[in-house]
Every structure is written in C-alpha cells, then in structure tokens.
Amino acid sequence: MIGAGSRLPLSRVKQMADNKPFTEQTVLITGASRGIGAAIARRFASVGMNVVIHYLQSHEAANETARSCMKTGASVLTVTADLRSLEQIRRMKEKLEQHGLIPDILVNNAGISHYGLLSDVTEEQWDELMGINLKGTFLMTREFMQPMIRQKYGRIINVSSIWGISGASCEVAYSTAKGGLNAFTKALAKELAPSGITVNAVAPGAVDTLMMSGFDPEEKAAIANDIPAGRFAQPEEIASLVYFLGLPESGYITGQIISPNGGWLT
C-alpha cells in the first residue's frame, strides 16, 4: 500500500491516468463566466470532458459559457460560491459530489485587479484583493486536493499575472496578491509531487479581456507598443497553455510559473 507521502513510480502515475481517460475527467474552473475562465472552460469542453463552471454573481454570463461548452458534447454544471467563504465552498463541493463530479483538474482562475497608487488603496480594497486572489485559492485548493491525494493523481493550475513576477507601478496590491500566488504554487508543488499531483501557475501578460476596460484606447495602444509581439493576447491563447498543463502527459511539469506575454518580460 502506498502512503500519503510515498513517491509514485512513473508506471503507477500512468496507470492512474489511464484508469480514467482524459476525456472522462472533470475540470473545475473558478471565475469561468467570462474572459480567460470562459475560454479555459471551452477548451476543456472541446474534448468532451466534464466541465464545472464556477461564478459569483454573473449568472447569465455563466449560463452562456455553459451553453457554448455543451455544444461540443461536454457535460457541464454551473455552480456559485463566494470563494472567501469556506462554508459556501463546502456547499459547492457537496453539490459536485451529488452529481458525481469530483475534479481531477482544478483551475484557480477567479481574481480581481486594482489600479491606483498604493497611497489611495483602502484597507477594504486590500482585504478584498487578498481575499479573492489568495484566500480563495487557498480554500479551494485545500478542499479539492484531498480527493486528488486519495487517487494519487491530479492537476492544480493557478492563473496568476506577469505583475506577480515583475511587479507593476500603480498595481502594488494586485502584484502582491499574484506574487503570493506564485510562491503558493512553488511551495505546494513540492508538497504534492509525491502524490502524483502537479501544481503550476500561468502568468499572462496583457490579455484582451474586460480587465483591461479601465484603460482608454490610447493607453491600450501604448501598452501594445511596448510588447514585442505588438498586441494583447487572446483569452484562447492562455486557455491553450492551461489545457496543456492539465494533460496526463504533462506530469513532469510542476512548480513552474509560465508567463505567456508576447516577449514583454523575458
């Protein structure tokens, strides 16, 4: 019998993946009603997987994402929870268990940003940023990694930001939250590797989503001009990397912060 901290041979890891074909696995994506999260949901759905779409308030947008996923033949469930609340997360988990949907892949995508001088950031804004970007990821991961440990297989993918690597002026709070997420990723990867679970972070540069709506066209053009690729990423490009990290054959990639940023940061 293999204990919780025992190391698995490659043959055993492959066997665990083969016992449940990739297309029959379940992926849970937080903050998946729109933007990068929705693109990730659609990418996994394209191969017919079981897809769980989490949202907080954007009910109709989440349903629209679910409908687009179901067109590919995927089994889809939408769930809502405030990720700062352990009680709500556990209720969501119970709902998934009732539907027989225990995530093999957890994508911690939910997050918020804040633009402004640190001197203008209120304590409430700071707490909200840390609560959603960090505490939510901690609570979700702690709750959903347990079944992965029991089955000796799993994928945890955290959606971070380029600013968590380099930091950004006027985004100190956001950079701090994403920097913390990167450290969380690296440390947890070492803790869970013996159980056949990988933990990685995808840290995009500028992506063409609603998160960029606070910038006017001139500001967006100036940002794009600073990027060697000359443009923002599309959500689908980030989703492709997340999908790759979720594959069984990506099992030797863990503890990595991978930044698709068009050459903006090298």
Active site residues: 174
Are 220 and 20 in contact, with CB atoms under 8 Å apart? no
> What's the rounded Cα separation, in Å, for the pair 81 and 65?
17
Q: Which residue has the tokens 């013996």?
A: 194
> What's the rounded Cα separation, in Å, for the pair 37 and 202?
12
Are 254 and 198 in contact, with CB atoms under 8 Å apart? yes
> What's the rounded Cα separation, in Å, for the pair 255 and 198?
7
Chain-centre distance of CA 143, in angstroms? 15
How many CA atoms within 13 Å lie on the side-chain side of 159? 30
3-state secondary structure of 222: helix
Q: Which amino acid is at 233?
A: A
The closest of 52, 71, 74 to 62, measured between CA atoms, is 52
- Sign of the torsion angle spanned by Cα atoms 90, 185, 33, 251: negative
Q: Which helix (H) or strand (E) holds 50?
A: strand 50-55
